[in-house]
Amino acid sequence: MPLPKNIVILISGSGSNMAAIVQTAQQQGWQEQFGATVAAVISNRPDAAGLQLAQSLGVAAQALDHRAFESREAFDAALMQLIDGHQPALVVLAGFMRILTPGFVGHYAGRLINIHPSLLPAFPGLNTHQRAIDAGCAQAGCTVHQVTAELDHGPILAQAVVPVLPGDTADTLAARVLIEEHRLYPLAVRRWLQDEP
């Protein structure tokens, strides 16, 4: 039996990417195949809809309100303590809208991944869909990457491409990209689990 590989997912909002990963893990039997379980979902927003969604999927859900901390460093230290209580093999950022401190990123080096709604290295940061449209791009998409101290610049693990259609708005493009995110992110996590000894 392989060593247990606990996955902790961090969210800030609806948790749709988190749900895609949890449901794929359950449907494909990651526990049996890889010894992998989504051990917890943690949000920096106590009102995040994704917390209830996680519970409905049978996953422990916890909130740690960043507004209760005096500094980014203090919040990240408390978050690390909460995450480490679950002995994670992998920490997955799924719509976690916080810029993480170098100390946090370093602590989880090699086992911290994120999904970004652009074809990195194009359009790191926010407003990716509008920026792709404004730049006249024929294609947009999403990227799963390892997290490093530099925002949206870690090694790329997987990408999916969608066409930018005539008349697209940021919202219509975002909706098509999100469909690909829900397909790509579980695939990338599964690949990570397969590659880990």
- 21: which residues sit within 8 A by CB, 6+ positions away? 7, 9, 38, 92, 94, 185, 186, 189
User: Smallest Cα–Cα separation from 178: which of 90, 118, 108, 88?
Assistant: 118
Separation of first and last alpha carbons in the chain? 12
Enumerate the domain spans of the chain.
Answer: 5-195
pLDDT given at position 151: 85
Per-residue model confidence (pLDDT) at position 196 = 77
Is residue 121 packed enough to be buried (19+ CB in 10 Å), middle (13-18) or exposed (0-12)?
Answer: exposed
pLDDT tens column, 76-105: 999 999 999 999 999 999 999 998 999 999
pLDDT at site 1:
52
SS (H, E, C) 74-100: HHHHHHHHHHHCCCEEEEEECCCCCCC
Arch. (CATH architecture) of 5-195: 3-Layer(aba) Sandwich (3.40)
What's the predicted TM-score (pTM) here? 0.96
Q: Give the pLDDT score at 147.
A: 96
pLDDT at 146 over 90: yes
Contact 145, 105 (CB under 8 A): no
Active-site amino acid positions: 116
Residues whose CB is less than 8 angstroms from the CB of residue 114 and which lie 6 or more positions away in sequence, other chains included: 92, 93, 96, 144, 145, 147, 152, 154
